[in-house]
Every structure is written in structure tokens, then in C-alpha cells.
Structure 1
Amino acid sequence: FARCGVINPLSLDHYRAHGGLKGLQNAVAMAPAEIVKQVTESGLRGRGGAGFPTGIKWKTVLDTTADKKYIVCNADEGDSATFADRMIMEGDPFVLIEGMAIAGIATGASKGFVYIRSEYPHAVTMMQKAVEVARKADLLGLNVLGSPNAFDMEIRVGAGAYVCGEET
């Protein structure tokens, strides 16, 4: 949340000036297994109640054979008085885009979806605009940052019901 309220959320120059894109720049130069190993060793955990290790989740997806793999961000915030997802999407959307692109490269997923509740119209608009900016700057698309890695994403708006999930 360090950049929220400090940067123009739709300016890649502001995002870069405050440390953004270093992770993605590193990731495009690494093999997927190297990224997963680094994330595992970092101890990064999910933000859900179980705090599941991210590296284990990513390794499971990387090791799974599938024609198509996807990265899904559930930004529904179904619990009352929770606004962390909304703050990120409205105030620092490129951090979410960068994280999803890294996850996609690490796991072999070429497409991502951000599920946003319909009650957050400003977050929806900001994410849609940020995705367009990211595409124009080659942060998303067929050759992420000029690499052979492909990753793109879509914003999906919820219909007022909680989205279901599963562990990977």
C-alpha cells in the first residue's frame, strides 16, 4: 500500500520511479522453475485465512499438464469492512498486474482474470484503464517486456454473488 495516494495510479513512470516493474523485469529473464523456487524460498504466503504458501501453489500449477492455464484474482472482498483489494486496484493497479504477470510466467499460464465486485465501479474503471496502459507498454501481451513470455488479462465484473474458489 506504500504507493497508494502517493503516485498517479495510471502512470507507469510513477510506478517505475517508486520501485515498480523490477520483479517482472527479473522474472522475464528467469526460467519458470527458478521463479517458483525464489518465491518458495521467500516464504510468501497467500492473504486468505489459511496463509497457504504461494510457492507450493505455484509449483502445483507449474507441474500440472494442461492445454490452458489461468491466473485468477478474486477481488470480490465478500467480508464486511475489507477494502484492501479495492485500495490496490484504485491506488496502485500496476502492482496487481505485475504480480499476476509474474505468476503467469512462473506457472505457464497465458491468461489472467480479475474478478471485481460490481459495487466497486471506480476499481473496475481503474483496472480496465491500467490493463490498456500495460498492454501498450508490453507488460501484457504476446511478448511481455520483449520476452518470449505471453500473458494477458481481462477484468470481469461480478453479479453480486460470492465467487467460488479452489486451492490452485
Structure 2
Amino acid sequence: MSLVVAAFAAACTTSEAPVYEAQQVEVSSLMASPGYAWFPAEMSVYTPATSAVESIQSSFDVKDQKVVIFVKPACSCRGTMRLFPQIVKTLRAAGVPDANIEIWSMRSEADKQPYAPTITITDLPTIHVFRNGSTSAIVLESEYNERNADSLIAAAVTR
């Protein structure tokens, strides 16, 4: 009888749900990884507007600004497959160093990420522009219309 009780008690233990953490990914890794062939493919066909590139070039402060992108690379949504690479292409075309572009790969909005609790992620992808250590602007997929990634990031950088 005691063996049955012990077996039943052991079977009733609960385990906690796994906690996932965002992983930082370098732009160069995305460009070279066969699993992300869509990333360089989208970058190669996208041409940002000259005015947006020039706006970023004239206003981006390498010492005080960075762009932090929270994304779910496995998602086939337009924000991941189009907006995300188009924003990176625009930033690179403007000469923003890869060191000033942080990409955080997440499984879901609930993943632990290094900017919590200051930033709560409610949508993926989400792009935060930081100035002097604080968010100065946010770009959301809901603002994207398939043609305005360059103007969205240019407006965010100049705020």
C-alpha cells in the first residue's frame, strides 16, 4: 500500500513551465545562416529611399543612439520577413554600425529579455530606438504598410 501511495505522490508533482530567454543575434550571423536565407534575400531586393537614408546619416549619433530589435525569426509574418530586414538594410545604408543595431531573437513576447522591466514587449517584431540609454521612439509592425520601413526608422531615429 505504501508503495502505491509513494508512486501516486511522485506522479502528482508539478513542474514549472520552462522560462525562455531572448538570445542576441548578430546581423552577420543572420546574413550567413542557411536557416535565415529569407533575411539577405529581402535585404537584396529592398532599396530604401535616399531621403530616409540621408536623414538617418545626418541625425544618428553613434555614441548616444542604438536600435534594438526584438523579433521572432521563425515567424513567417510580414513584420519579421519584410519590415525587420528592410529596417536593417536602411540603417546599414545610412552607415549605422552593426554594433549599434541589437537584434534579440525571441520565441514569444513573454521571453526574458535584458531590457525588462523597462521595456515590456507586446508584439514581435518591435523596434526600439534608444538615445542616452532610454527609449526615444518605437516602431511597430502595425505602422508598416509594405513600403514605409525606411521612413518609419528615419522618423524614429530623428526623434
TM-score (norm 1): 0.33
Q: Which structure features the higher share of strand residues?
A: 2
Greater relative contact order (CA < 8 Å, ≥ 6 in sequence): 2
